[in-house]
Amino acid sequence: MKHSMNIGKRILPYLLLVASLSASAQDNLPLKLWFNKPSGKTWENALPIGNGRLGAAVYGNVETEIIQLNEHTVWSGSPNRNDNLLAFDSLGEIRKLIFEGKQKDAEQLANKVIVSKKSHGQMFLPVGDLRLKFEGHDSYEKYYRELDIEKAIAKTSYSIGGITYTREVLASLPDRVIVLNLTASKPASLSFQAFFAAAMPNTTVKALPGNQLSISGVTVDHESVKGMLKYKGIAQLKTKGGTVLSTDNSLLVKNADEVTIYISIASNFNNYNDVNGNENERAASWLNKAVVKPWYAIAKEHTKAFQQYFNRVKFNLGAGGEAAKLPTDERLKQFANTNDPNFVTLYYQFGRYLLISCSQPGGQPATLQGIWNNKVHPPWDSKYTININTEMNYWPAEKTNLAELHEPLISMVKELSVTGRQTAHDMYGARGWMAHHNTDLWRINGSVDGAFWGAWPNGGGWLSQHLWEHYLYSGDKKYLASVYDVLKGAALFYADYLVKHPKYGWLVINPDESPENAPRAHQGSSLDAGVTMTNQIIFDVFSSVIRASSVLGKDAAFADTLKHLRSQLPPMQIGQSGQLQEWLDDVDNPRDNHRHISHLYGLFPSSQISPYRTPELYSAAKNTLIQRGDISTGWSMGWKVNWWAKMLDGNHAYKLIQNQLTPVGTGEGGTYNNLFDAHPPFQIDGNFGCTSGITEMLMQSDDGVMALLPALPDLWLAKGSITGLRARGGFELISMEWRDGKLVKAVIKSTLGGNLRLRVPNEVKSASGVTMKKANGKNTNLFYQTEEIAAPKISEKATVSKPDLKPVWSYDITTQPGKLYVFREL
Ligand code: FUC
């Protein structure tokens, strides 16, 4: 059962509570997940640590501690392709069937000729566990465990017979190893057995000379792709005092004062096409470099490296009441019925913590589970679903000041643009590159799962927009030049693949689908032509290449071609229920509450739909959001937080945060005790989606403006502050404070110069002596220029109301690169 509180009725007591606490000194509560009981058998209670290469789930169990291990390249299979080469010859037939309204027949044919007959994607796999067995530690007191997300260190402590035992563990960013440190308050008290426990077949575990343990193996075959990924893990124990004995596959520590365990894991993976690396040498080399450093040095350097990312954003909504004193699982239970603003900031920062921990330059991008998986057959293979989930993982990257962490995704897109060239050519006879709705470590581009899901041809197009977004935030032309061909390749695919719709005359993709959804009118088939989301994606792909070509001063003729093609795309349409149409025909069911609301891509992450520029489409998008309802899978609710923020409705966005921050139950969505998002099962996208959405409630930088406090919920009006958010166009919101819903002070740094068009909820003045003009006409700042979209086509049956917008103030300020601009409430 979800709780969704009636904000209107309950707001007053909370506002009073917040006001009474506003002056309290407890605003800076430590950012920790903490518990007064061990994880037991439940992986989703365990605390995640990671350094982008290695991930671990720390159980904090007393008698048998489990450190469940992952390495970013340990996947099933080996280099492979999965295109279905029958597609090209049947394309004409499939198109004809769809244009004739025979979607089901088209789907049956597509299942034979488009869907892969080979791999449907490989699996991200666990390495195994390091386990520590403490004989006689079955009865204990003063149990405590935490994950300090400001230090990126997990800690467990408990007492037995007056002796306090403490274990700390981290995944070092600079040293590339996982390190555990075990201490006891009395000398010679640490006695335990350490061993690796295999998770997968084909695994060897043993003890080695020099107080080492090893785990090694080769991953499994999957869907007839041979497992060729070899991995090696080594754990080395360093002890102070006591003795260490070794058995075949374990080490026995007796009466030590302190023990430090260094874990290094590596694989033979060089790149998606090459597994000739030496996992043994790699694992040993990282281990040997780290093992000479004592725990305190490892911990200090790790936290320092971590905080270089983490500390860029500080977010404060006030401490809240008694709830803030509860363990994290208890807070989660109460959240929907209490005002616990610090829990929101904890959850927000946990999203940033997770991205820092699972996505580091040079590593693999965050999978459906980031870098944390304990299952031999993980849900959806814990791979990359690129019709929403992978993109969502990276929504917080730029805006929450973690742009470097976008790199693994950007690299994957570059690689997909190479492997996807062959797919575009062989399957669809098109130039450029493409990907369907999934990919994996081996950068497959073929169609998987079944045509209903897998015939969607826009994975490449959508992902390419992450490359463009990275540019919009930094303005780095050298970078743009380096990815231009990838962007152009995404556009080339569409330029070749679009066909004229026989009835409407628009240029459409056929076969196409609106991810994973089907209108009843199509006999349960998702296959169609020219669906709204696809048209929006192509609009963005073409527009970004047109603008990139102009920024780089190249390819003007190609840009003209794209402009011509763009003008023939279908316009967005408003259907009979006042909804934004999901499909080309007005066949939406207003009672459909499907988790994918793909046609709102145009509202977020794209900004084709705007309350100010396209009021009719904005109202239609709102109707769609209302018709689809709130409660859904975790990631769907994460997306909805962003959409309601773009709707400028902070209370509704907050309601979605409440729905998401509800203990996982029998229904859809929710959150696990360790604050992992629940589809269910665990899927990390919802964590990242919500962190992005909360940012959008506080600051938006699209639609021609940088908007501050666009969607504050009533519960946060009283007081708050945030530092370090990044905006498109090279602006950084160094800090922002608000009180009683009004912007009190904002400090903005301009890195590129250009016009800053500021939209704020109250009148402000410059405190740095610059002229602030009332905003007028088109924003001259190129980063904020919006592409004109075609007027919507509106059904005669539709009623579309005018948006009811709160008053805002907009200013134009001419900025210089490298300068700070301070604004204060007037
Ligand atoms: C898409 C979604 C599912 C799930 C899967 C990993 O297929 O429709 O809900 O998130 O990806």
For residues 793 and 791, what is the distance between their CA atoms, to the nearest angstrom? 7
Region 429-441: what's the mean pLDDT? 98
pLDDT for residue 639: 98
Average pLDDT of the chain to the nearest whole number: 95
Region 161-165: what's the mean pLDDT? 98
Reduce the DSSP state of residue 117 to 3 states and report it.
coil
Q: What is the pLDDT of residues 261-313, one digit of tens each?
A: 999 999 999 999 999 999 999 999 999 999 999 999 999 999 999 999 999 99
* Residue 796 burial (10 A CB sphere; 0-12, 13-18, 19+): exposed
Banded model confidence at residue 16, pLDDT cuts 50, 70, 90: very low
Pocket test for ligand 1, best of 386, 389, 439, 596 (most atoms within 8 A of CB): 389
Residues 194, 380 contacting (CB under 8 angstroms): no
Separation of CA 275 and ligand 1 centre (Å): 29
Side by side, which strands form the sheet with 315-316?
A: 315-316, 719-727, 731-739, 742-750, 819-825, 764-766
Region 196-214: what's the mean pLDDT? 97
Q: Which residue has the tokens 């274990």?
A: 167
pLDDT for residue 319: 79
Residues 419, 443 contacting (CB under 8 angstroms): yes
Tokens representing 684 are: 């990390």
Q: What is the pLDDT of residues 732-741, one digit of tens each?
A: 999 999 999 9
Q: Which segments within 452-496 are labelled E, that is strand?
A: none
For residues 476 and 752, what is the distance between their CA atoms, to the nearest angstrom? 9
Residues 758, 813 contacting (CB under 8 angstroms): yes
Alpha carbon of 164 to those of 337, 619, 772: distances in Å? 36, 60, 61
**368 Cβ inside 6 Å of ligand 1:** yes
Percentage of the chain surpassing pLDDT 90? Answer: 94
Region 371-390: what's the mean pLDDT? 98
Separation of CA 436 and ligand 1 centre (Å): 14
Look at residue 595 and tell me whether its pLDDT is greater than 60. yes
pLDDT for residue 300: 98
**595 Cβ inside 6 Å of ligand 1:** yes
Region 526-536: what's the mean pLDDT? 98
Reduce the DSSP state of residue 485 to 3 states and report it.
helix
Banded model confidence at residue 28, pLDDT cuts 50, 70, 90: low
For residues 620 and 604, what is the distance between their CA atoms, to the nearest angstrom? 14
Look at residue 237 and tell me whether its pLDDT is greater than 80. yes
**516 Cβ inside 6 Å of ligand 1:** yes
Region 39-47: what's the mean pLDDT? 98
Q: Please, which residues have CB within 8 angstroms of residue 492's CB and are 6 or more apart in sequence? A: 430, 431, 432, 433
For residues 661 and 643, what is the distance between their CA atoms, to the nearest angstrom? 17
pLDDT for residue 321: 75
pLDDT for residue 19: 38
What does DSSP say about strands 438-439 and 754-760: parallel, antiparallel, or unpaired? unpaired
Total Cβ atoms within 10 A of residue 426: 16
> Global pTM?
0.96
Look at residue 526 and tell me whether its pLDDT is greater than 80. yes
Look at residue 5 and tell me whether its pLDDT is greater than 80. no
Region 219-225: what's the mean pLDDT? 97
Reduce the DSSP state of residue 404 to 3 states and report it.
helix
CA angle 709, 652, 727 (to 5 degrees): 30
Banded model confidence at residue 7, pLDDT cuts 50, 70, 90: very low
Separation of CA 368 and ligand 1 centre (Å): 9
Q: Residue of the nearest CA to atom 11 in ligand 1?
A: 385
| SS3 letters across 536-603 | HHHHHHHHHHHHHHHHHCCCHHHHHHHHHHHCCCCCCEECCCCCECCCCCCCCCCCCCCCCCHHHHHC
pLDDT for residue 4: 39
Computed from CA positions of residues 585, 590, 596, 599, in that sequence, does the dihedral angle turn out positive or negative? positive
Q: Which atom of ligand 1 is nearest to the CA of 368?
A: 6
Separation of CA 387 and ligand 1 centre (Å): 8
Residues 809, 775 contacting (CB under 8 angstroms): no
Separation of CA 382 and ligand 1 centre (Å): 11
For residues 637 and 667, what is the distance between their CA atoms, to the nearest angstrom? 13
Q: Which atom of ligand 1 is nearest to the CA of 635?
A: 10
Residues 75, 124 contacting (CB under 8 angstroms): yes
Look at residue 424 and tell me whether its pLDDT is greater than 50. yes
Residues 644, 629 contacting (CB under 8 angstroms): no
pLDDT for residue 1: 34
Look at residue 94 and tell me whether its pLDDT is greater than 50. yes
pLDDT for residue 666: 75
Q: What is the pLDDT of residues 725-761, one digit of tens each?
A: 999 999 999 999 999 999 999 999 999 999 999 999 9
Alpha carbon of 48 to those of 373, 434, 561: distances in Å? 10, 34, 49
Separation of CA 687 and ligand 1 centre (Å): 15
What does DSSP say about strands 754-760 and 705-708: parallel, antiparallel, or unpaired? parallel
Look at residue 700 and tell me whether its pLDDT is greater than 60. yes
Q: Which residue has the higher pLDDT, 322 or 197?
A: 197
DSSP state of 18: H
Residues 731, 756 contacting (CB under 8 angstroms): yes
pLDDT for residue 323: 87
Separation of CA 384 and ligand 1 centre (Å): 10
Look at residue 8 and tell me whether its pLDDT is greater than 60. no
DSSP state of 721: E
Backbone angles phi, psi at 523, to 5 degrees: 50, 40
**382 Cβ inside 6 Å of ligand 1:** no
pLDDT for residue 87: 98
Q: Residue of the nearest CA to atom 1 in ligand 1?
A: 385
Banded model confidence at residue 27, pLDDT cuts 50, 70, 90: low
pLDDT for residue 667: 83
Q: Please, which residues have CB within 8 angstroms of residue 296's CB and are 6 or more apart in sequence? A: none
Listed as own residue / partner, the contacts of 304-308 with beta carbons closer than 8 Å and 24 or more positions apart are: 305/172, 305/173, 305/174, 306/151, 306/152, 306/173, 306/356, 307/150, 307/151
The stretches of 634-684 forming alpha helices (DSSP H) are 634-646, 650-660
Region 408-437: what's the mean pLDDT? 98
pLDDT for residue 20: 36
Region 793-811: what's the mean pLDDT? 94
Residues 666, 338 contacting (CB under 8 angstroms): no
